[in-house]
Amino acid sequence: MERRMTFESAKSLSPSLEDYLQAIFWTVAAKGTARAKDIARQLEVKASSVTGALQALAQKQYVHYQPYEAVTLTAEGFDEATRVVQRHSIVREFFAGVLRLNDAAAEEKACRMEHCLGADVTDRLAALTEFVRTRPEVGEELSRLLAEQCRVADTPGRVQGKSVTVADLRPGQKAAIVAVRSEGALARRLVDMGLGRGALVEVEGIAPAGDPIRIRIRGYRLALRRSEAAAISVVGR
């Protein structure tokens, strides 16, 4: 029991390190690699701060890091980064889609609150947000009541950042691939096309009948059948 508690303590991440892990995740998704200067620019911090954070993440075996070389996520680091990104997305979507805060406010408040929420809370937030999203009349009534009770203007928010599949994305939406949920020939075909974990994908268009779906990934364009797109799990940005 004592060993387990020590291990969990060693693996736990501070809010700051979670932010670094999230920054690495999105930088790698967009560029294929991450360097200290990219992370410093994204988080608006000094290079010395990035070095210390990368060393701490490397000690926890979440990243591969050597000075002056590109930073990559370990398999364990990718899984942990995915959890952090999904939690942030759920909280941000709740603020934007349920409380109807504007995008900037939703992002700011999600950054503040995400680190102190457990899975039990985020699961409930996700369920409530999905309920409101699929029942517009509920969302409208909730917005009206909030405006009355809180006496604030109802500012429509944008529902985004949900962990879904490529088939669920709308034109213009971007997301990072977290898993290819298929086997055999289809799985090999998708991976051969560059649709692997961590890649950033953008939906450019959808045919009138909903099939195929045109995407952009790593600088080139692809057309996917809807069934193929539905096999690719992503987390939105």
Q: How far apart (Å, rounded) are the C-alpha atoms in residues 95 and 126?
A: 11
Q: What pLDDT does 237 receive?
A: 62
Decide if pLDDT at 150 tops 60.
Answer: no
Average pLDDT over residues 195-224: 82
What are the DSSP calls for 73-101, one per residue? E-HHHHHHHHHHHHHHHHHHHIIIIIS--
Q: What pLDDT does 158 receive?
A: 36
Tell how strand 213-217 and strand 220-224 pair up. Answer: antiparallel
Q: What pLDDT does 62 receive?
A: 92
Q: Which residues of 7-36 are buried (b: 16+ CB within 10 A; e: fewer)?
A: eeeeeebeeebbbbbbbbbbbbbbeeebeb
**pLDDT bucket at 232, cuts 50 / 70 / 90:** confident
Decide if pLDDT at 2 tops 50.
Answer: no
Q: What is the pLDDT of residues 157-167, one digit of tens each?
A: 333 444 578 88
Domains, in order of start, for the chain: 2-73 (1.10.10.10), 80-150 (1.10.60.10), 163-236 (2.30.30.90)
Single pTM value for the model: 0.59
